[in-house]
Amino acid sequence: MYLCCFFFRQPNRTQVRGSTVGALAILPAANRIDPQLLPPPISEDDAQKGILSLIERGLIPPAADLTLDPSPVHHRTAKLHNPTNKEKKILMPGGLILDKYSYLSVNILFASQKLLFSLGIKWTSNRTVHSKGIQITQCCLQPPPTTPASAPDFKERCHRFAIQHGRTRETSQEFMAFKQHYCLSWGSIISILRHMERMLTNYAVPIAFVNGDKLADLSLEFELERPPTNADLLSVIVNREDVETLINRPGRRYVGHSGRDEAAKKIQATFRMYHDRSKYLEYRRKKWASGVIALSWLMHIKLARVRKQLRQSRLDLLETHKRRTKYLARNWERISHSPRVIIHIPSCGHSRHLRQSMKDFNIYQNLQMARLCDIKDPNVDVIYVSPVPVNDEMTQYYTKLLGLRDAIDTGEVDDQSDISMRYKIIHPDSARCFPSHNMCLATLLKHSPRTLKRIKNLIRGREAYIVTGMPQDDDLYVADALDVPVLCPEPDIAQLYSTKSGSKRIFASAGVTVPPGEYDVYSLPQLQETLALLITENLEVSRWIFKLDDQFDGRGIAYVDVQEHLPCYKWATREAQRYGEKWNKKWAQEAAYIKIHQEILEVLTQHAQPINKESYQDWNTFLHAFLCQGGIIEACPPSDSVTALTVNMLIEPTGKIKVLMNGDQIHAETQFAFWGLSLPQSSVEPDALNEACERVGRACSARGIMGYFTVDFVTFIHPKTMKQELWAVDLTLKYSDSLAMFSFTTFATGGHFDPLTHTFDIPPLKREEKKSRRKRIAPVTEEPPNTNRFAVMSARLMHTNLSVVHYSVFFQMCRAHGIGYDVKEKQGTLFTLVDSQNRENLGMLTIGETLQGALGTFARNLSVIHQEISAPNMQGSSNFRPVIEDIESILGITIQNTEDGEDLPEKDME
């Protein structure tokens, strides 16, 4: 190839054209057709022609990325001349004078010659420089001379050599110079060089240029250490990027020397790795599984051992409870009439999910503060375990209230006494450790060893027993720790028969009248079939009620009105009228049952409503809980005027059944949950109610139930028979809030409840005889004083504005409005304080000579308190308004009944 450069100084001169070298070898045709073929080896003569010649002839691919190190071109700042200066002549060596244009051409020529010489190309010219200018007609490229112009250029050029197809060009002048220069350390260099040749051969690298100086440095580093890595070897290659690209290409290792063998080894190694890895993973999986199984088995064994210990511990507690119960039964007559200590623990042992769903659970447990009034019996001392802390203000109130006992007996206010030694209010010390766990009181007391020790010291050497709320296993633990009996049934029996389905079993065994319904319902098909059958058999019932088994206080109740929403209800009613007396036959009801069964599920989905929206937002939520816990279905009384009654009873350890009190329920927000009672009941004949209570008591006693329990009834006039019906609807095996308020009533009046006549009487009032100086006149017969009393009681009054009023201010406000109690007349108003922290809850008791008077006083007190503690812009949240409305409706009914047959006193009308 020829590189021709033409520089014109005088255009009138003739140019000489022609070749100065012979023909050179070019790339074979086969390589041009198939680029994948390796290029032929380059001979020493071809290499001496220079890089440009090799590129032009195709021996080096045109796309090859060539790097010259060091670069033949050096950058430097160009010198700028002032254009105003006159053109100067430049004196060249030999006496030649050039102008600036000729001088620039000569500089370009010399720079080109230096560049080509660095590329290994010889510069020759057939023209010379004349005195009148420079005229170069032709130049050619030839291999550079063997002797370098300077020592540095020689070193840089000779210490670079090529390795082609994995073989070093050992005969090249560059390699020979490199070998001669490093002859003293050639042993380590040749070892590194063989590693590099082996790497290039394995990856079929066609050509690589090596920096000899870096190779020598690398050989010194790895002479006594580990063999060099590919990255170390690549660091001494000049065209590293090209070589590294080839080496990193997938599958390149199997193209080079012994590639098939390496591929076979790789395949075998990969399969062995996969096989061994699979076996290892299987081993790890089995080992992990065996570890899990072993750990699970150990945990199972430990849990089984712990469960066995707990079961045995509970059995031991139960056996101890039975032994103490037998002792209590043998000595009850003596204990009940001798000095004794009653430990009141108002614990609600409901299930955990119920306790967690309740707001202010501790306050709910403390609604029975009136249990302190058991000290009305001079032989009784009381230890009351409070679930909430009691401050000094509350303690002073109860001390003053309980000190009125002598004044109540004598009728003189001044006859007060200090009886603070007869009662103790104790708060468990572990309560502060569980502020938000909603743990029942017995559990808190179980984890309070200091409190247990204090109670044990207070009862040492004295007869004592525990009266709890809803019993559970922790009550037995506390009793065992104190070594005293508990006046309650076994926890499992209490939990079973306190459910709605359990109470239905008791009522069925007792033979009392119950609403039409079904219990132990646990599935949706059973619910659908049972409800359809009940509706078919009782078409006069317009509303059906669903109750969850383990709920209480009207929380888990829903209802559906079938008369309004069941499409086939009117048709079924006509069918029943058409069949007449034959309607009780199954064949007569079959068509109606099938149609109701098809429609009832949609009616429930669209129209069933839960009562308590805070616990169950809609029917789907209630249905899920109903199917999980189970429940009952019962009919709502088919009457607009329904009265609910509550009877509190006691089964003594000896088996004797007592009716302690009864009363009519007063409802506030819903008709299924009551907030208070009016004592005594006046809705049912005493004989009918006593007979039903006696049957329920005998059925409970037959199942080993002992202690306090409550039975709820409803009474109404049946629209068909026009007779009064009495249905037993609920049973609760625990000490109730109403019984605690009844104890408060007997304490405040000294009265007695007659379970046969259902009357509440107080001792005759003492009248002072007036002395007169006049002549004694024949005495006039006076009517005896009225000893009959009625009471309205509630422990569940709530008003959020009470939290901003201290108890001292509250009682001053009550005295200012005449809200108080007359110990002489045994009538008026009394309060029970429940919470000393928030002060939002309290209980109230009103006592009067007539039921209308007690109800009116109660409603008036609520109205006055609400007006005093509320502002127009701060009404607060309370249950006062529903209570007042319910009392007004009751008063309207009683006034109407009085106008029909009885005269109402003028005082009661007010």
Please tell me the predicted confidence (pLDDT) of residue 1: 38
pLDDT tens digit sequence for 128-150: 434 334 343 333 334 444 444 44
301 SS3 class:
helix
Mean pLDDT (the chain, rounded): 82
Task: With respect to residue 239, please indicate whether it lies within any of the assigned structural domains.
Answer: yes
pLDDT score, position 148:
43
Query: 794 and 673, same structural domain?
Result: no
The domain boundary, picked from 718, 734, 750, lies at 734
Answer whether residue 305 is part of any domain.
Answer: no
- Closest by Cα among 317, 383, 319 to 346: 383
Kindly state the tokens that stand for 455: 């109670």
Tell which wins on pLDDT, 414 or 300. Answer: 300
Do 365 and 394 lie in one domain? The reply is yes
The answer to whether residue 2 scores a pLDDT higher than 70 is: no
Same domain, 484 and 520: no
What is the SS3 assignment for 453? helix
Distance from CA of residue 319 to its chain's centroid? 40
* Strand residues in 486-542 grouped as ranges (E): 517-521
pLDDT confidence bin for 68, thresholds 50/70/90: low
845: confidence class by pLDDT, cuts 50, 70, 90: very high
Q: Which residues of 161-187 are buried (b: 16+ CB within 10 A; e: fewer)?
A: bbbbbbebbeebebbebbbeebeeebe
- Note the Cα 58 to chain centre separation in Å: 76
Domain extent at residue 214: 160-256
Q: Is a pLDDT exceeding 50 seen at residue 32?
A: yes
pLDDT band at 119, cuts 50/70/90?
very low
Asked, for residue 230, whether it belongs to a domain, the answer is: yes
Task: Tell whether 467 and 542 lie within a shared domain.
Answer: no
256, 289, 324 — which closes off a domain?
A: 256
Residue 651 lies in a domain: yes
Residue 410 lies in a domain: yes
For tokens 């000489």, what's the residue? 16
DSSP state of 226: S
- Are both 394 and 453 inside the same structural domain? yes
pLDDT above 80 for 13: no
Strands 340-348 and 380-385: parallel
Which of helix, strand or coil describes residue 168? strand
Identify whether the C-beta of residue 24 lies closer than 8 Å to the C-beta of residue 147: no
pLDDT above 60 (res 19): no
Short-list 716, 583, 704, CA closest to 645? 716
Sign of CA dihedral 312, 316, 321, 323: positive
The pair phi, psi for residue 519, each rounded to 5°, is -125, 175
Q: How many domains does the chain have?
A: 4
Residue 596 lies in a domain: yes
| Selection from 434, 425, 454 nearest residue 362 by Cα | 434
Q: Which amino acid is at 680?
A: P
* Final residue belonging to a domain, choices 688, 708, 734: 734
**Contact criterion met (CB below 8 Å) for 373 and 744:** yes
Mean pLDDT of the region 551-567: 88
pLDDT tens track for 385-406: 999 998 888 999 999 999 888 8
> What pLDDT band is residue 78 in, cutting at 50, 70 and 90?
low
Look up residue 260 and give its amino acid.
R
Asked if the model's pLDDT at residue 380 lies above 90, the reply is yes
The whole-number pLDDT of residue 37 equals: 61
Amino acid at 445: L
Predicted local confidence at residue 72, as pLDDT? 64
Percentage of the chain beyond pLDDT 70 is: 79
Cα–Cα dist 299/454, whole Å: 38
CATH number at residue 616: 3.30.470
> Residue 774 pLDDT more than 70?
no
Both 722 and 623 in a single domain?
yes
Q: Give how far Cα 413 sits from Cα of 419, 423, 769, 822, Å.
A: 16, 22, 19, 9
pLDDT of residue 771: 47
Residue identified by tokens 């009384």 is 637
Beta strand 790-798 with 841-848 is: antiparallel
- 343 and 461 co-located in one domain: yes
Q: Looking at the predicted structure, is the pLDDT value of residue 898 above 70?
A: no
More reliable by pLDDT, 892 or 306: 306
Q: Is the dihedral of CA 386, 454, 744, 726 positive or negative?
A: positive
pLDDT confidence of residue 419: 85
Q: Is 712 within the bounds of a domain?
A: yes
Q: What pLDDT, on the 0 to 100 scale, is given for residue 96?
A: 45
Residue with tokens 């002792």: 327
What count of other Cβ atoms lies within 10 Å of the Cβ of residue 395? 14
For range 827-850, the mean pLDDT: 90
Regarding whether 706 and 663 lie in a shared domain, the answer is yes
* 574 and 671, same domain (yes or no): yes
Q: How confident is the model at residue 726 (pLDDT cuts 50, 70, 90)?
A: very high
CA distance 786 to 841: 33
Q: Are residues 573 and 644 in the same domain?
A: yes
At 503 the pLDDT is 92
For 478-490, what is the mean pLDDT? 92
Q: What is the pLDDT of residue 39?
A: 67
Q: Can you tell me whether residue 566 is helix, strand or coil?
A: coil
Res. 117: pLDDT tops 90: no
Indicate if the pLDDT at residue 835 is higher than 70: yes
Least confident range of 13-17, 136-140, 454-458: 136-140
Provide the edge-to-edge strand list for the sheet that holds 827-833: 724-732, 707-717, 643-651, 657-667, 674-679, 790-798, 841-848, 827-833, 821-822
Under the banding of pLDDT at 50, 70 and 90, the label for residue 753 is very high
**644 within 8 A of 664, measured Cβ to Cβ:** yes
* Alpha-carbon gap, residue 609 to 211, rounded angstroms: 91
Claim to verify: residue 556 and residue 644 sit in the same structural domain:
yes
Give the model's pLDDT for residue 581: 84
pLDDT at 145: 45
pLDDT tens digits along 164-189:
988 998 888 889 999 988 988 888 89
Band of residue 157 on the pLDDT scale cut at 50, 70, 90: very low
Cα 333 to Cα 48, 327, 655: the distances in Å are 133, 11, 12
> Residue 678 belongs to what H/E stretch?
strand 674-679
User: How far apart are the C-alpha atoms of 506 and 728, rounded to whole Å?
Assistant: 10
Dihedral sign computed on CA atoms, order 626, 628, 629, 630: positive
- Does 532 share its domain with 576? yes
703-723 pLDDT per residue, tens: 989 999 999 999 998 888 888
Does residue 823 lie in a domain region? yes
Res 307 pLDDT > 70: yes
Residue 656 has pLDDT above 70, yes or no: yes
What is the C-alpha to C-alpha distance for residues 868 and 876, in angstroms, rounded to an integer? 12
Residue 364: CB atoms within 10 Å = 20
The CA-atom distances, in angstroms, between 863 and each of 817, 873, 883 are 11, 17, 10
Going by C-alpha positions, the residue among 724, 747, 697 that lies closest to residue 643 is 724
Pick the more confident residue, 141 or 726: 726
Instruction: Please classify residue 732 by burial: count the beta carbons closer than 10 Å to its beta carbon, then call 0-12 exposed, 13-18 middle and 19+ buried.
Output: buried
CA 520 to chain centre: 31
Q: What is the pTM of this model?
A: 0.68
